[in-house]
Amino acid sequence: MFGYRARIGYISPSVMELNAYDFYRIVPKGVGLIAVTCMVEGWQEDAYQRALAQVEACARELGRRACDFVIHGGAPLVLSQGKGFETRLLSQLQELSGAPCTTSIVAAMDAFRDLSATRLAVVDPYPADLNAKMTAYLKDWGFEVASLVSLGTAFTESSIASIADIYRAAKRAIKEAQNAQAVFIPCANFPVIDVIEDIETDFGLPVISNITSQLYVGFKTIGMRENITGYGQLMPML
């Protein structure tokens, strides 16, 4: 049986480029990914609304596939709606899929809490308006964006961003933050996982990415206590 140890459902906001690849690099043998996509075309409100309109059908489809846990990817979709929307979304997802659920930003915040990190240095590819929404959203939940460095990457080019640029952006964000407690690098199609341990080793701070926080919360929820190393401080906390 595919995914005989765990079947992880994933509602992707757009075309899956790096996320599926990163998933299978991290997860242990016997864990399967069942993904559907909402086909967001860019970082615009009308695109978010079209994607959110597809959530019900996506959740029902994942429910038909007997998923053990469901992840709603795409932090911008939740950030655009403000605090409180994630509670309604998670309730809808769980009801329709029949599985426990999380979203990208909720999983990240759960990881921050488990790491006792409230002061964040952020690196991302997002435009300024989306970063303003993220900063406000995290503040509403008790987290401080102490610094933010955006690479300003085009929506369709996040997956080909330079690892060197991400590392240098993290270095700058950490320096500007002064006393940050963690580095947050969102975006599912950002090539982050190969540079997580370099950043942690060189600057002594935990790094939280989309895929690591999502899998950490998912495995913790379903009781999978696999020893996963090589992708930062978070996964070994399972």
Domains 6-103 and 107-210 share a fold: yes
pLDDT of 197: 98
In single-letter form, the type of residue at position 114 comes to: D
Report how many helices (DSSP H) and strands (DSSP E) the chain contains, helices first: 10, 8
pLDDT of 52: 85
Pick from 215, 223, 167: which is nearest to 234 by CA? Answer: 215
pLDDT of 139: 97
Per CATH, domain 107-210 is 3.30.70.2740: no
The answer to whether the predicted template modeling score (pTM) of the entire model surpasses 0.85 is: yes
> DSSP for 112-150?
HHHTT--EEEEEE---HHHHHHHHHHHHHTT-EEEEEEE
pLDDT of 137: 96
At a CB cut-off of 8 Å and minimum separation 6, what does 198 contact?
A: 167
Contact (CB, 8 A) for 226 and 163: no
DSSP, res 195: T
Second-level CATH architecture of 6-103:
3-Layer(aba) Sandwich (3.40)
E-only strand ranges, the chain:
6-12, 31-37, 69-72, 101-103, 119-124, 144-150, 182-185, 207-209
Positions of the chain with pLDDT lower than 50, given as ranges: none
Question: Structural domain boundaries of the chain?
Answer: 6-103, 107-210
- Residue 124's DSSP bridge partners are 150
At a CB cut-off of 8 Å and minimum separation 6, what does 65 contact?
A: 7, 9, 34
Contact (CB, 8 A) for 151 and 194: no
Q: Quick one: CA dihedral 38, 165, 110, 234, positive or negative?
A: positive
Q: What is the rounded CA–CA span in Å between residue 16 and residue 222?
A: 24
Nearest-10 Cα torsion for 152, 131, 123, 53: -90
Q: What is the rounded CA–CA span in Å between residue 123 and residue 108?
A: 14
pLDDT of 160: 80
pLDDT of 77: 87
Q: Quick one: CA dihedral 120, 235, 20, 103, positive or negative?
A: negative
